[in-house]
Amino acid sequence: MHVPQDQPPGAVPHRRSDPPTPPPPHPEQASPWASPDHGREPRWAPPEHGQPPEHEQEPRWAPPDYGQPPQWPAPHPGQAPHPGQTPSPGQAPHPGPVQQWPAPPHGQPPQWPAPAPEPWVAPAPPGSRYDHLARTRLHAWWRPVLGTFLGFAGLIVAGLVVVIAGMAVATVAGVEIDGSGGRIFADPVLDLAVNLLAIAVVLPVVYGLAVWIQRRPPGTLSSVAGRLRWRWMAVCTGVALLAMVLGQIAVAVAYAVSGEDLGDLFGWVGWDRFLPVLIVTVLLVPFQAAAEEYAFRGWVLQAFGSFFRTPWPGILLGAAGFTALHAYIDWGILDVFAFGALMGWLAVRTGGLEAPIALHVVNNVLAFGISGADGSLEQALKQGSVPWQNLAGTVVQLGLFGVAVVLLARRRRIATVSP
């Protein structure tokens, strides 16, 4: 008799009766003592009597070999097929396998990828007019205000740097410095070069303000396309040349009607004096004229456009600042103000600075070229009073150029809003 080891010594062992031994089952009869398989994993057992050998039995499901799809049981009608099976008629396709992401290591948070950094600059919304290109999602009221003050300070500082550098060059070259009569140097060619450079250096200042203060692409100062449209500028340059020629003819007619001698209007000083003026004019005037347009028809116009729906406050105040930059009096003030106002209006109507830059460059090249040819460059640099006869040329020049540019822009379908 077996004594359990967990009973104390001397204790009477409990006798339990052994369960009855069931009779052996019939080969075709299931055992009545078989326990149900619910909730249990099947255990291996030798095949019962009447079962075929294992190699003759139907194959049971097992994990597939590498490269073979699993053998799924046939789906019920209306049930989606298993992955890899072709859906039968009336079945919906299987949505596909679910991506299983690996679990992070124990005790460590999941490592998600860092978000992409926000771009420093933001463009204007599509459909924005030229004067509204500063209205980006990063716009704030203080940005154009601060940028305008910094631009004015940059204009003064850059101009002083250029003037000081010019004085150093003049001292080394032995050129006399003349601070009387609104001039800096006794040589008018050097005086012209320093004046043009002092304005041209404003161009990178305006570009920097657009990027670092307003946080917008600097190309939005050029046009609604975000760049200068060179083909359109070439067309505007051709129109500007025609308008300037007709304007000079109108000036000559006005002088003739007023009794002025045309011989005093067009003179010739010779190639030795004219060639240096021509070289300086051709090399520096495009940058000087472009800098003024970017400052007054670009920055100022768009700075006011960030507050107002109408472009006219920016057009008129930009023209006023442009006029204050020059030293003209009487009729000259009206002449320069009309020029600046028309350039601002054309910038809005054509969606960019191509037309204003084209006319400004052509106007200054011809103005300094004619002054250098007839020996009146010193008088032109002093600016001052402008004869009333010149207004006739201004009316013809601006009127013809404005009408022609608007018609050509409409015909060539020049974009006037941002894409």
Chain-centroid distance of CA 302 in Å reads: 15
- The answer to whether residue 93 is domain-embedded is no
- The answer to whether residue 142 is domain-embedded is yes
Contact partners, residue 409, CB within 8 Å, separation at least 6: 232, 349, 350, 355, 416
Other residues' Cβ atoms within 10 Å of the Cβ of residue 277 = 21
What pLDDT digit, counting tens, does each position of 336-394 carry?
999 999 999 999 999 999 999 999 999 999 999 999 998 888 888 888 888 888 899 99
Contact partners, residue 86, CB within 8 Å, separation at least 6: none
Counting DSSP H helices and E strands in the chain, the numbers are: 11, 0
Instruction: Give the Cα separation of 409 and 351 in Å (integer).
Output: 10
Most trustworthy range by pLDDT among 96-100, 168-172, 179-183? 168-172
> How many domains are there within the chain?
1
- The answer to whether residue 98 is domain-embedded is no
What pLDDT digit, counting tens, does each position of 103-133 carry?
656 666 667 777 778 899 999 999 999 999 9
- The type of residue at 87 is P
Is the distance from CB of 181 to CB of 382 less than 8 angstroms?
yes
Query: Does the structure show a pLDDT above 80 at 248?
Result: yes
pLDDT at 118: 84
Is the distance from CB of 361 to CB of 239 less than 8 angstroms?
no
Instruction: Give percent of the chain with pLDDT exceeding 70.
Output: 72
Q: What is the pTM of this model?
A: 0.73
384: left (phi over 0), alpha (psi -120 to 50) or beta: left
- The answer to whether residue 153 is domain-embedded is yes
Instruction: Give percent of the chain with pLDDT exceeding 90.
Output: 57
Instruction: Give the Cα separation of 211 and 120 in Å (integer).
Output: 8
Confidence of residue 44 (pLDDT cuts 50, 70, 90): low
Mean pLDDT (whole number) for 69-77: 54
Contact partners, residue 277, CB within 8 Å, separation at least 6: 188, 189, 192, 368, 369, 371, 372, 373, 377
Domain that holds residue 142: 130-411
User: Mean pLDDT of all residues in the chain?
Assistant: 82
Which of the pair, 298 or 269, is modelled with greater confidence?
Answer: 298
- The answer to whether residue 119 is domain-embedded is no
- The answer to whether residue 27 is domain-embedded is no
Query: Does the structure show a pLDDT above 70 at 29?
Result: no
Query: Does the structure show a pLDDT above 70 at 93?
Result: no
Confidence of residue 32 (pLDDT cuts 50, 70, 90): very low
Residue 384 is given by DSSP the state B
Which of the pair, 302 or 87, is modelled with greater confidence?
Answer: 302
φ/ψ (deg, to 5) at 328: -80, 155
- The answer to whether residue 56 is domain-embedded is no
- The answer to whether residue 324 is domain-embedded is yes
Instruction: Give the Cα separation of 79 and 77 in Å (integer).
Output: 6
